Amino acid sequence: PISKHLCLVFPLLGSTPYDLLKENQFQGFNLDWTREISKTFLFGLQMLHSTNRIHTDVKPENIMSKHKPTQITVRQRPFTHPPGGEMVLIDLGSSLLLNQKKPLLVCTRQYRAPEVIINLG
């Protein structure tokens, strides 16, 4: 039978950078991986902006890998190594069109830019 319910199906994604930082007791990532995630993340933002849309809630929890991380040993301790490859920008629920009136508060408080806090932009 055909249902009258709308279902959204999403691919299963891996970890967020925040998940990996937490799992590794907030040890930083190596420079190569940081460059790779930054490049793919900025490409995603560029694509979003090309549609005249602003994300408004960019944070490590809203970036997900398409792949699962791997466990390696660093200095005789387990370390969850971030996966390479594509990252996905998620949580567009608070995104806005460029010309749309912006609410007074955007973004998660802990990641809010100073100009947003003092109401400059």
Q: Which one of 19, 32, 57, 91 is the catalytic residue?
A: 57
Quote the CA–CA distance of 73 and 75 in Å, as a whole number.
7
Q: Is 57 a catalytic residue?
A: yes
**Secondary structure of 44-94 in HEC code, one letter for each residue:** HHHHHHHCCEECCCCCHHHEEECCCCEEEEECCEEEEECCCCCEEECCCCC
Quote the CA–CA distance of 58 and 111 in Å, as a whole number.
8
Quote the CA–CA distance of 80 and 67 in Å, as a whole number.
13
Q: Tokens at residue 96, please?
A: 């806005």
Active site residues: 57
